Structure 1
Amino acid sequence: MAKKFVPNNNDFAIAYYRFSSHAQSDASIQQQRDAAQKYAAGHGLQIIKEYKDEAISGTTDQRPGFQLMLSEIGKIKPGALIIWKTDRLGRDRCDLAIAKKYIRDAGCVIHYIAEPIAGDAPESALMEGVLESMAEYYSRQLRTNIKRGHLYNAQNCLYNGHKTLGYAAEPAPEFGKDRQRYVIDPVTAPFVQKVFEDYAAGKPMVEIAKELNSLGVTTTRGKPFTVNSLAHILNNRAYIGEYRYGDIVTPDGMPAIVSPEVFEAAQKRLILNKRQGGQRANGLTPDEAPRFWLTGKLYCGKCGTPMQGCSGTSSYKDTKHYYYACGTARKKKCSLKYVKKDKIEAIACFMLSECLKDTELLASLAVDVVAYYQREHEDKGYIEGLKAERAEAEKALNNLVRAIEQGIFSETTQTRLL
């Protein structure tokens, strides 16, 4: 049998307001507050505390104001909780049931300003349940419509609300009202080009970030540049015109800001710096990297992680020794001991020499080498590939000329690009 509800015998009231950024037709926080004050005055109630959550969806209960209200209601023990509508508490019936139990156990009666729920009348429970179901239905329907809209935008390479430095959004009325497409931003695009060109030319990310910050340039979130934010830019294929949304990838789906050649040069340097960064972490200098020819071919026998080259000095600091170590051993995640470089490489050379003594294996290798040569040098696909690259280069050049003619780039940028 359900516990009998005993309301608090006082005229104290608390109020909760929520406004969702996804539903602009909702009453604003101020409108809800004004209505709550008017309702309290008309029903002999005194609002002693207010809680609010602005621009937070009702589909989650992780709302600061909402959680604070639930944690304090048992201590304050007001006679009434005033809210605009049922959906202000939430749009998930499970969350609503839990929240209302907290409120009920605190002896508080919920007062709805804009919904016809008649207090303790028998039909009030039915009406309240219907309104809760409608709130959840609205939330799910809205989520479905948003996903459908995003999918349509992605299929047509339209702006989906994702801000990208170097691009702006302009109306695309041919796809419907409020649809937008990506266009090159003449203000920020030159900075993106400079980031790629400077990094491909060898300038460190730290220096590039300092230079951008000194010029007052910020990320799309309005924050200063860091190495991480620059890495995100340098890895973004949108700058060579590739539109991407989830599993939908469309080459040439948006205007390119960086040439494929500069983008590829930046990618190669990212890979090189990543490898050299790992070598420096293992105590190696860049000129020592070629020493470890088994890198990428040798794997830990315990955990399967690729082995990495590393070095160390003797106790007298006069001799340097080289080893292969499990990639996770240095993080204490694998117990495999370091293996001397000369020893493991000698074993690998011995095994190779033994394999080459097998005449059948030698013949098989010879066949594979001939097939590789024919595939790389006699296959017409290689020539066709070169033709395709040339066509892409001509297309990029034509796009650049049109961009210069339209005045997208400044005179300084035009001179540098030409």
Structure 2
Amino acid sequence: MRAALYIRVSTEEQSKEGYSLAAQKEKCSKFIESQPDWDLVKIYADPGVSAKDLKRPGVQQMLEDIKKGFFDVIVVYRLDRLVRRVLDLHNLLDDFEKNNVKFKSVTEVFDTTTAMGKFFITIVGAMAEWERDNLSERVSMGMEQIVREGKWKGGEVGYGHMWDRNDKVFVVVEEEAKYIQMMYQWSIEGDGDITIAHKLNEMGITTRQGNWWTNTAVGRILRNPKNYGTSKRGVRTHKQDSFLVDDVYPPIVSKETYDESMRVRKNRFRFSGRNVKNDFIYSGVLACSRCGSTFKGNRTTAPKTGTEYKFYVCNNRPEKKCDCPSISEKLVEDKFIPNLRQAIDDLSNVDIDLDDGNREIEEQKQFVSKELQKIKERRKKWQYAWANEAISDEDFSDRTAEESRKEKHYLSVLDKLERNKGESLPASSVVEVKKLIDNWKILNDQEKKQLLRSLVNRIVVDIDKSRQIDDRLKIKEIIFN
């Protein structure tokens, strides 16, 4: 009978007696040698990997080989080396049965060929899951108590605060706190996360890691209750709601400011997440081609007629950082709709999936996929070399850890490429947008602004005062969300 081994150690078990890879390999190999007509054909190993699920390189390779009929029985030192969740156990046993593969544990008596044996192994699997959940519960309770005592539970301290190792307390980072206060003020005034991120970036302000701000990063900060002094902690083991612990962090803003910001955010997202506070249709969307800043809406009243007019000014103009002239909303409206209609027509007449940007993304994805395949093949080589004692246990663990690190990196890159693909407006949306443009004139200013922000990220413009008034505005680019 062809036998295969599966061995595993989690990080904290690496040094425990009897749980090392070498120890498991030795005992399982001797067990196979003691069985008549059994031959060891392959070894699968997952060094430094938890058994919380089946997403482990060794297990996945084993499952692939099971379907190919590479072996007849899988041998483990103990059941919990292979699996700790009852559902995973049932799934594995089902795969074993479908492919006529038996399961044997060196230190436990299991017989998966009988109903009683399957029942017994399920009970043992349930006990293993209970042991894991019990440990998780104790850890969670300990973390909860740390939070309630206002102590640092480790990890990254959020933007605006730092952990004082000498005094063992959280302290405010004044420079970061100043920008957090600005974020809340802008939020209360009606600015969305994207607008706030653009403002920070235009001011040259970066995150703690030196990255440019994104709407996600801004939203995460604004929603964090630590900014008014409260810590939030979830007890996921019990599937309970998160609890709040007061007076953990020194406050950066008041509770009233935080609550007002959350109220404005809630109102803003009531309609498609794009509600607005004023009737300046193009505020925050109109962008200057000269300096890159956005335009801000303003009003003026004709002295003779008393008629009110709306116009837009580059945000860098008041500080004399830009010389772009102001522009009336009527002129923007007259120019924008024809340009938008043309842009939509252009998009509907091209194969969006074959544009240069997506072609480049596909090429990058192919490269990353090839690198992931190389990692998979190298893993097989290390496993084979280690199984035949061509490399030491330590060398095998180091090489496997390095491959895991590379795999994690490339999987992250692949995920980003997937999310970046097809950023152009989808064809299904083009039809809906055309319908909305046809009804543009009957919408009020609030509805127009909601529609515009749901569709467009930037309208890049320039103004040439040397031309006639009707021809001064040049829409250079429309950037869709």
TM-score by length of 2: 0.44
Please give the TM-score of this superposition, normalised by the length of structure 1: 0.50
Quick one: higher RCO (CA 8 Å, sep 6+), 1 or 2?
2
Greater Rg by CA: 1
